[in-house]
A and B are shown apart, each in its own frame.
Chain A
Amino acid sequence: MKTIINNLRMTLSELKPGKLALVQHIETSTETNGLVNRLEGIGIIPNKPIMVLRQAWFGGPLHVRVGSTTEIAIRHQEAKTIHLQPIEV
């Protein structure tokens, strides 16, 4: 049973490793226009479950699982544009 914790809003950059969340929306701005397309292509669209698997050292990228079978490396800077709704399982 998944329950949405409503008043907690965060970005992918803040999500704790091992915790699942749902994508809410991706921030758009003129410079990141191309980025949004790429992220959508990779499967980061509203309501998609997303999870941080681990984080590289020295502020390096996050290892993220999108849905259940797509894994990506993404920098914090880009992760900050992805807004999430945490869920409890």
Chain B
Amino acid sequence: MNCHQSETAVNGVKPRKRVALLGMPNAGKSTLFNRITGASAFVGNWPGITVDLLQANVNVNGEAIEFVDLPGIYDLNGFSEDEKVVQQFLNKFAVNFIIIVLNATQIDRQIRLALQIKALGFPAIILLNMADEAKHYGVQIEVDELSQRLAMPTFLMSAKYGKGYGRAYQEIVRQLTTEKPSFQIKNLNEQLLENGSILPLEIEAILAGIVVMPSNFARTFTAKFDSILLHPIFGLPLFFLGMFLVFQLVWNVGLPSMDLMSYITTWIQNFILEPILKVFPLLIQNFVINGIWNGLATVASFVPLIVLFFIVMAISEDSGYLSRAAYLMDALMGSLGLDGRSFVLQMMGFGCNVSALMGTRIMRSKALRLLTMLTITFSLCSARLQVFIFIIAATFPNQNGATVLFSLYILSFIAALGAAFILKGQFPNQEPFVLELPPYRFPTLKQVIMRGWGEVMHFIKRASGFIVFGCVAVWFLTNLPLGATGLNTFGGQLGQFLSPIMQPIGIDPYLTLSLVFGFIAKEVVVGALPVIYGMNADNLTQYITDTVTWTQAYSFCIFCLLYTPCLTTLATLFNESKSWKYAAFSVVFSAVFAWVISFIFYQGSLLLSL
């Protein structure tokens, strides 16, 4: 949503051919969708459907075919937001056929979705995914016989490793080249009432004699791992230890990589930019170097670190461990009116709050969703990570850096819980908690590289957009009126105007100014600092070391962590809740919350050192 252009799909008189992917959550639908569509996917807006859908136009035999990735659902009859979206889609838009993606290892239950689609009369093909895992578990399926019983083309394949994909794709092509009119269901809801419920006996009959499932007592690799990682006593400590090690890694690998990047950007500045700029007036030189380049270069220095961070995120999201974390944390989260999934989404928010907010669609209760979304905005996202690394590196002795950083993650988590505790009365809910725990998996190198690459592209988009905008705006504010310097500039005056509020929490007018622009996005804070001080990153670090105490720095970090995340997050809060009141409440609540916590910390530290 934040990184793709929205396009409106036309529901014209003569639609192109359209294929929809449908399946249960975690069946491997996205992996398959990526394999079919390559990198051409975009987020599209569909009239009458409340969320955007991922789609792509793929050239099949010289004809553009529209592939749409529907949200993962358990049941066509279901009541969650995602399930409603699928119902709306199938009700309103014609499809040439549906690709039903099932996890072959769980065919004993996932076949139900295929039977529902069949009962409704949709043309469909079935792809039994995760053939590799099925083999490993000893699940045996007589695919041809199953295909005949269902009267649907059925293939066993692996979307992740590509095995069997060729044959499945040939079938997709074959289906598309036979001229058949597209299928539009009449009144889905009525049909679902009539044919939508599948009896256990039907499932038994369709699988009888052709599917062999492993023993109920099988001791899989996952089971052995779980006995350690889900241990009643060691489970949670191991979780926090793991987190600590991750941030140790990010810190110890990330910082040297930043030095390398700033070496490169300094070289570019000295040997390319400045010689070129020599012919221009001083003001222009100042604007380009201090207004744009320094800010951008500082933000750019974080790219390797962010890529590393997202690789770690990709591995942990793909591993299946996050749902285990939900299991471990559910008792605590439940007592705060949230549930284990809220915790997982907070963890996903460590990457980017926006995608985590959209992840709340799996929740059925509106109150639980709204409360979870409020807590997600306190998640220390990768943009805030950049601010903190910059400030911590300047104000804390190096060996402690990782620990200080980790403390901010803990604080982010505690703040989320605290907010839930304060607000849970406003958002009471009865949402049941039933969560699938997939087996442990490890992403392929290709999956990891794709993810890292996606993040670099995302970053470049942001950098060329509002990060430059923010830096330029800050430059004007800190250089006008002409001739003024320091606190006499417009920016300085704005900082001073806010100082009755910010001084009690130890934040000076300059840093205040960076926070004002951080409202746009947190990278802008990093970009704005060199612009405000008119220095490059290295000199700035030294300057901050000399002028800002560690308690002021930490107070700044707390405030920056807890006040509004960024404009995109705010827009998403509004989009997902459809309520201005709610979005405005989030802004005010988090600003007050941030101020109070910073105040307690900063004044407390002053009292203690007296």
- By a beta-carbon cutoff of 8 Å, the part of chain A in contact with chain B is 20, 31-35, 37-43, 45-49, 51, 53-61, 63, 65-75, 77-78
B129 on the interface (CB 8 Å rule)?
no
B200 on the interface (CB 8 Å rule)?
yes
Given A37-B74, A68-B218, A73 contacting B327 (CB threshold 8 A): yes
Chain B residues with CB below 8 A from A56, complex form: 230, 232, 235, 327-328, 330-331
What is the distance, in angstroms, from B327's C-beta to the closest C-beta of chain A?
4
Given A42-B436, A53-B226, A72-B437, A47 contacting B200 (CB threshold 8 A): yes
Chain A residues with CB below 8 A from B323, complex form: 73
Q: B316-360: which residues lie under 8 A (CB-CB) from chain A?
A: 323, 326-328, 330-332, 334, 340
List 20 extra interface pairs beyond A34-B79, A43-B106, A73-B435, CB under 8 A. Answer: A20-B217, A34-B364, A37-B74, A37-B75, A37-B78, A41-B113, A51-B217, A54-B226, A56-B230, A56-B331, A63-B226, A66-B109, A67-B216, A68-B137, A70-B106, A70-B108, A71-B436, A71-B438, A71-B439, A78-B433
B522 on the interface (CB 8 Å rule)?
no
CB closest chain-B residue, reference A45: B200
- Residue among B75, B79, B330 making CB contact with A61, cutoff 8 Å: B330
Given A37-B74, A68-B215, A73 contacting B232 (CB threshold 8 A): no
B434 on the interface (CB 8 Å rule)?
yes
Q: How far is the CA of A75 from the CA of B331 in the complex (A)?
A: 9
Given A41-B75, A78-B432, A67 contacting B109 (CB threshold 8 A): yes
Q: Is the CB of B432 within 8 A of A43?
A: no
Chain A residues with CB below 8 A from B443, complex form: none
Given A38-B75, A40-B112, A49-B216, A63 contacting B432 (CB threshold 8 A): no
B214 on the interface (CB 8 Å rule)?
yes
B9 on the interface (CB 8 Å rule)?
no
Given A72-B434, A73-B326, A67 contacting B79 (CB threshold 8 A): no
Chain B residues with CB below 8 A from A54, complex form: 226, 230, 232
What is the distance, in angstroms, from B137's C-beta to the closest C-beta of chain A?
6
Q: How far is the CA of A36 from the CA of B168 in the complex (A)?
A: 34
- Tally chain B residues at the interface, Cβ within 8 Å: 51
Chain B residues with CB below 8 A from A33, complex form: 79
Given A59-B331, A60-B331, A73-B326, A78 contacting B109 (CB threshold 8 A): no
The number of residue pairs between A and B whose CB atoms lie closer than 8 Å in the complex comes to 138
Q: B55-98: which residues lie under 8 A (CB-CB) from chain A?
A: 73-75, 77-80
Q: How far is the CA of A34 from the CA of B474 in the complex (A)?
A: 52
Q: How far is the CA of A19 from the CA of B215 in the complex (A)?
A: 13
Q: Is the CB of B78 within 8 A of A38?
A: yes
CB closest chain-A residue, reference B196: A37
Given A37-B77, A54-B230, A67-B216, A75 contacting B433 (CB threshold 8 A): yes
Chain A residues with CB below 8 A from B204, complex form: 47
Chain B residues with CB below 8 A from A47, complex form: 200, 204
Q: Is the CB of A61 within 8 A of B213?
A: no
Given A72-B434, A73-B434, A78-B434, A61 contacting B331 (CB threshold 8 A): yes
What is the distance, in angstroms, from B11's C-beta to the closest C-beta of chain A?
29
Q: How far is the CA of A22 from the CA of B146 in the complex (A)?
A: 26
The 8 A CB mask of B112-139 against A (1 = contact, 0 = none) is 1100000000000000000000000101
Pick 9 A–B contacts, CB within 8 A, sort by A.
A33-B79, A34-B80, A37-B79, A40-B112, A45-B200, A56-B232, A65-B216, A68-B216, A73-B437
What is the distance, in angstroms, from A5's C-beta to the closest C-beta of chain B?
17
What is the distance, in angstroms, from A62's C-beta to the closest C-beta of chain B?
9
What is the distance, in angstroms, from B254's C-beta to the closest C-beta of chain A?
33
Chain B residues with CB below 8 A from A63, complex form: 226, 230, 327, 437
- Residue among A45, A55, A58, A69 making CB contact with B214, cutoff 8 Å: A69
Q: Is the CB of B74 within 8 A of A57?
A: no
CB closest chain-A residue, reference B323: A73
Q: Is the CB of A42 within 8 A of B109?
A: yes
Q: Is the CB of A38 within 8 A of B331?
A: no
- Residue among B108, B139, B200, B432 making CB contact with A77, cutoff 8 Å: B432
- Residue among A41, A61, A65, A69 making CB contact with B433, cutoff 8 Å: A61
The 8 A CB mask of B23-61 against A (1 = contact, 0 = none) is 010000000000000000000000000000000000000
What is the distance, in angstroms, from A61's C-beta to the closest C-beta of chain B?
5
Q: B193-228: which residues lie under 8 A (CB-CB) from chain A?
A: 200, 203-204, 213-218, 222-223, 226
Chain B residues with CB below 8 A from A46, complex form: 200
What is the distance, in angstroms, from B158's C-beta to the closest C-beta of chain A?
16
What is the distance, in angstroms, from A58's C-beta to the closest C-beta of chain B?
4
Q: How far is the CA of A42 from the CA of B217 in the complex (A)?
A: 19
The 5 closest A-B pairs by CB, nearest first: A41-B74, A43-B109, A60-B331, A34-B79, A73-B327
The 8 A CB mask of B234-249 against A (1 = contact, 0 = none) is 0100000000000000
Q: Is the CB of B105 within 8 A of A60?
A: no
Chain A residues with CB below 8 A from B148, complex form: none
Q: B356-402: which residues lie under 8 A (CB-CB) from chain A?
A: 364
Q: B417-447: which residues lie under 8 A (CB-CB) from chain A?
A: 430, 432-439
- Residue among A57, A67, A70, A77 making CB contact with B331, cutoff 8 Å: A57
- Residue among A40, A43, A55, A58 making CB contact with B108, cutoff 8 Å: A43
Q: Is the CB of A75 within 8 A of B112?
A: no
Chain B residues with CB below 8 A from A77, complex form: 432
Q: How far is the CA of A58 from the CA of B436 in the complex (A)?
A: 21
